[in-house]
Amino acid sequence: MNRFEYVRATSTAGAIAAVADPGAVYLAAGTNLLDLMKGRITQPTRLVDITRLPGLDKIERLPDGGARIGALVRNSDLAHDPDFARRFPAVAEALLSGASAQLRNAATTAGNLMQRTRCHYFYDTASACNKRDPGAGCDARGGDTRLHAVLGWSEHCVATHPSDFCVPLVAFDAVVEIEGKSGRREIALEDFHRLPGTEPWHETVLDSGELIVAVRLPPDAGDFAGHARYLKVRERTSYAFAVVSAAAGLRLDGQCIADARLALGGVALKPWRAREAERLLVGREPNKTAFHEAAQAALAEAKPSGDNAFKIELARRIVVRALSLAAAGTPQLLPALPGSPFALTAGVATDA
């Protein structure tokens, strides 16, 4: 780890000013950043500690029925907030399936959005990686790509985004509130992360020095509370990133689907919103035929980035299973422990 300067910010404006110097980065819990620093994958010269910034650790129920989640809200606090979990159960379920209990007690909302890929070539400084060293190439191409992208990848990068939390947030139209030198702005979380294209080192739409201050869920996200699920296929139930995952929400009108939400995780460098699949579901009865057609539409553009064609079929199956469980209804109480019925292992989704 290189030597660095440590600054504790006491205001948002002060934090933005302090991070303006080249080599400066924001520090919250540091659950990902410190690993990157110890591995010399990133070497900031200044850490700007934002954990004492006022007002960023609140979970607010908005007058219109939506919710505002401060950037410093801990993952565990949000998942276990009874009102939030009742109104947005798929988001709470995603949080409870992510990382370990100890990490959830430290990790923050903004940090979850900003975490880097877990591609092993990115973490191996002896490997060529365009994300770590722009223009160096991508040793994952032709390498071990079993867990890599099947949607939205390019010849320059086949990595995936590791977040569970972001997948239902994208499905339910979350908005990111950002503050910077030019003031405050908002952007849909669906547009926040970039696909790799020719410049995979540009990972988000944040401008230099900009700070995430909150994530907001719109009021209609709560309309899916009775039929919303998040499912994750992983190799270790106790603690592992998703091989594939899916967030599904249905709003039923009698025997028909009046509205649908669907997003996938573990398949691309950003959470993948399956809008065509959503459109196919509207007006249909919530049955396996409709769900299989939606799964086909959701993965219509998928292609292996190497030896990972199995992920495409696995993703189709997890979509069918997530939609089926959403149609059956959201359980009122979400179990908080790994190993609960909500924590799927890699074999569970094969009968979908």
Question: 42-90: per-residue pLDDT in tens?
Answer: 999 999 999 999 999 999 999 999 999 999 999 999 999 999 999 999 9
Report the DSSP beta bridge partners of residue 60.
Answer: 68
The yes-or-no verdict on residue 345 having pLDDT over 50 is no
C-alpha 264: how far from its chain's center? 9
Tokens of 273: 């919103």
Q: For the chain, give the mean pLDDT.
A: 93
Q: How confident is the model at residue 331 (pLDDT cuts 50, 70, 90)?
A: confident
| 332 — pLDDT class (breaks 50, 70, 90) | low
How is 29-87 classified by DSSP, letter by letter? S-TTHHHHHHTTS---SEEEE-TT-TTTT-EEE-TTS-EEEETT-BHHHHHT-HHHHHH
pLDDT tens-digit profile of 214-236? 999 999 999 999 999 999 999 98
Are 229 and 330 in contact by the 8 Å Cβ rule? The answer is: yes
pTM for the complete prediction? 0.93
- Among 236-245, 282-291, 324-333, where is mean pLDDT lowest? 324-333
pLDDT digits over 175-189, tens only?
A: 999 999 999 999 999
* pLDDT surpassing 80 at residue 351: no
> What phi-psi label fits residue 209: left (phi over 0), alpha (psi between -120 and 50 degrees) or beta?
left
Asked if 8 contacts 92 with a C-beta cutoff of 8 angstroms, the reply is: no
Amino acid at 38: K
The model's pLDDT over 96-122, given as tens digits with 9 standing for 90+, comes to: 999 899 999 999 999 999 999 999 999
Report, as an integer, the average pLDDT of 206-221.
97
The predicted structure's pLDDT at residue 333: 47
pLDDT score, position 238? 77
**Strands of the sheet with 46-49, listed across from one edge:** 5-8, 46-49, 24-27
Task: Tell me the average pLDDT across 125-154.
Answer: 97
How large is the average pLDDT for residues 167-173? 98
Of residues 144 and 340, more confidence is placed in 144
310's enclosing H/E stretch is helix 310-328
- Quick check: 342 pLDDT over 80? no
- pLDDT number for residue 344: 36
Q: At residue 339, does pLDDT exceed 90?
A: no
Sort strands 244-253 and 67-70 into parallel, antiparallel or unpaired. Answer: unpaired
Q: What average pLDDT does range 291-300 have in this prediction?
A: 98
